A and B are shown apart, each in its own frame.
Chain A
């Protein structure tokens, strides 16, 4: 089934540990994003990538890093997890910018629930 896949779906992690959330899409979308969702705060952008080889910082990038070695994969790494990073993380993709006839629709993965103790 075409779409966007995240792994793991759920993880409990000790503070100080390193963790990578995986995200893969098979829609050949240029743009990819990582959001965190916390109750009452909506969806906040962590990092994004316009196209393979480029990344940018979103609203809440501290403590997170990303890479975009190819079109399909966009992993999110927590170098040293802290309890405030307990959240639900959503990866998303879109065709690209709205110019050139692209739709603006974001396609989301099913989310990764991360608990940092």
Chain B
């Protein structure tokens, strides 16, 4: 199965600074790379995703970059705000395989200090 690691496990940044979270995976067949955000006491929700035919995708202050050769992808948050404080999870997967065993990383707790 897929081996997924996230780094760092915790991250504290000053409001307005940037934050980067990295996800490494083992399955070279993975071709879908999402990031989920889970606020305290809430359910995880998709915030951005990328497919392997694209190297980078941006949505306002968040972006995801992919390095398929090195088997890692990263979440970038610019101009961080207190509402960005949450736990972020990556969950790389392979499409079309008929397998639905999604493996999540253990999460990165981001704290944005006002």
Contacts and interface: CB of A to CB of B under 8 A. Distances in A.
Interface residues of B, number: 27
B101 A45 contact: yes
Contacts of A43: 44, 89, 104, 107
A48 to B, nearest CB: 5
B1 interface: yes
A13 B43 CA distance: 23
Given A42-B107, A45-B102, A59-B1, A104 B93 contact: yes
Given A42-B104, A45-B102, A106-B102, A97 B43 contact: no
Interface residues of A, number: 27
A105 B34 contact: yes
Contact of B46 (A44, A49, A105, A109): A105
A73 interface: no
13 contacts: A33-B100, A40-B106, A49-B100, A59-B103, A94-B100, A97-B98, A99-B96, A104-B93, A104-B95, A105-B49, A106-B91, A110-B43, A111-B43
Nearest to A105: B46
Contacts of A58: 101
Interface in B76-114: 89, 91, 93-98, 100-107
Interface of A: 31, 33, 35, 40-45, 48-50, 56, 58-59, 90, 94, 97-99, 104-106, 108-111
B95 to A, nearest CB: 3
Contact of B100 (A31, A59, A99, A111): A31
Interface string B9-52: 00000000000000000000001101010000011111001000
Nearest to A48: B100
Contacts of B98: 50, 97
